Chain A
Amino acid sequence: MSGPEDLERLALKDAVTYYRAPSPFARRLRKTLRASDTERRRPFLAGHWWGFAASFACGALLAWGVTFTHKVNDDSQLTSELVGSHVRALMENHLTDVASTDQHTVKPWFAGKLDFSPPVVANAAAGFTLVGGRLDYVDKRPVAALVYKVRGHLINVFVWPSTQDDQSLQSGTQQGYELVHFRRAHMNYWLVSDLNRSELTGFAEALANAAAQS
């Protein structure tokens, strides 16, 4: 690796532009980081809402094509909660209370633990396997969390009843996670994952179709 290699590298290195971070950007970034860190220490909901607001204000999420059409105020608390729940489930290694790929095992498990019966579909889409389910607490109520896996990615599907009409798919990004929301047959569905948006949306469509048929 002596001689010619070094010469060549020197030459190419000299020819290639090194882009340095613009200083206004460096200042903005520092502010954003500090805001997100101090807000972490606030009570859970307020903290995450502020973290979201800070990044929202910086336009990052806008630029990333967030298309949540709900009132941001209402939903950002909820989406923070959902992302938080997803991350904690992964971190604490507490993904499932009932581990099974069989919908006929998972669905009855929720009976008596929730005041509703969540639709559980094992084979909604090819490649997506049901891993199990667990109880979670979101939006001030107990909810069903169904866990699916595709390749290395885990998907949390949060389900709870709604009195509102059906709603078609909406997707968005928060803290680097993809979220997809829809309502079918008086159930709220929220999907959270690190899976890419198009695949997650495709899976949500498959779940929505299955829910409409059941």
Chain B
Amino acid sequence: MELDALLLSRLQFAFTIAFHIIFPSFTIGLASYLAVLEGLWLASRNEAFKVLYLFWIKIFAISFGMGVVSGVVLSYQLGTNWSVYSRIASPVIGPLLAFEVLAAFFLEASFLGVMLFGWKKVGPKLHFAASALVAFGTLVSAFWIISANSWMQHPTGFTQLADGTLRATSWMQVIFSPTFPARLTHMVLAAYLTTSLVVGAASAWRLLKDPDEDESRVALKMAIGMLAIVAPLQLFVGDISGKQVLHVQPAKLAAIEAFWETRTEQPFHVVAWPDRKAEGNRWEISVPKLGSWITAGRADAEIKGLKAFAPKDRPPVFIVFWAFRVMVGMGAAMIGLGAWGAWLYWRNGGPHNSRPFLWACVAMGPAGFMAVIAGWVVAEVGRQPYVIYGVLRTADAVSPVRAAEVSVSLVAFMAIYAVVFSVGALYILRLIAAGPNAGSAETAGPRPPGYALAAAPHDLED
């Protein structure tokens, strides 16, 4: 395969956006969690909530910072690498992205400053308002970016002019395209699950060291409660989203399930080795008829296979098939972990007594990130060869830049992101290992943050 500017630009975008999505998928949930913790602390004055708040806000600050800087890149990369896409799509999609900046980014950035540094500058209620506004901002951001992405997956409410550029004919149909509600819900729940799993893993890790640490017990209970409710809900929402794919992106669905022939009673391939050249699966382990039933709700439903589409219109099936299975596998494990934890609370008085469960929580810590990235691979690779489904091919969207420039920038991104990511992860893991009580002795006491004598939270190492 030749490394041309197109392929390199795709690799660069995939790399930078996959790196970026790690942070929002964690911070969307964590921002809500922090607002809840602070609210609970204000309402109950239970010291454990405050200790947890001051602990997780440090981790939030690191993750949010990485999310911001990796996000700035994306608003310029559309132009540097995808200038034709920008020219054609901007009349329709431009406002959606601009509204994300105007409605969300400024809100998050400004009130994050108050959240992190205003502990002694504003009263407790105002500080809580800042936390709540940051949490709200993360959700607004998700709203607009998923709106834009949903439109690119299934564009509605537009028309194409002779020069190729697009025009909106109905803003309601552009912003609220048919797949948007289910996809937004799916992403927000995924973010909440990701956060629950990280909080659960961190708390379980601490409880393995010190089974009596109150704060970690509280945090684990909150995480498991969230998981037990949201993980099954996510299965339901994901299924709705999947059924929409069947209708609006049949080629993507065929790739997800590695269906090649169009037929009724499609078998469900639990695992398979799809081969694009051979136009079939080299091997597969399948359950008869289940494929039609899962995707359409009835075994006798006729489902299109990949051969129904011209080879140039088929997405890369191997990646999409396996990414989907990684996502669903992680989701199933989350449902299992939540159920196990709930059962332990019900039968055992609490999961902190069960070391196997605590270890399982630790092991599942990264599962949310893996599921989110796998899910986005399904969505974005499954949309290929289009960047705007059915309207603009990815190959036609690229900038007039040279392979040499893009390869240099791609290598530079990889090197810098590798450093930033490993160091950020190291600092977060260090904080988690030290636990919520490290360095918090000076903050003990029932004084509110705005109180004149409230001690500043103490930093760990300096």
Chains A and B belong together in one complex: no
